[in-house]
Amino acid sequence: MNYFGDLLYIKFKLSLLHYIIWIFCIKFCFIFMVLLLSWLYMQLYFLIELKTFYIILKKYKKLVFYGLLCFLYFLFPPDLLLQLPILILNIVLIEVFYFYICLIIQNTTSDKYANNTTTFKKIKKV
């Protein structure tokens, strides 16, 4: 019976230093990710033309989806109930972002021809 009592005995050690280091690592990783994402946003928004960004996104949409999905899977724990909503949210966000880029390009190109009433001539049969 003493053997089973030793199995249920759990020794724990309060390691406050490890906990503080872990909190600081999480904090600095989060700050780094926020700064990196804001820097990427600024680069994409100010330095790349919208049509070029559309062409890149159209060509590499699956690769962007897969890269973002792998990044989010490394970031969050491997729980199936958490990974399925991440997958669905990733699909929805990529498609909404692609639709938003297409909508902006369509609205900017249609403003050029706003004063024209018709763009096609009617052809009469002889």
68-115 pLDDT, tens digit per residue, is 888 888 877 777 888 888 889 888 988 888 888 888 888 776 555 555
Q: What CA dihedral angle connects 26, 28, 31 and 33, to 10 degrees?
A: -70
Question: The pTM is what?
Answer: 0.51
Residue 2's pLDDT is: 55
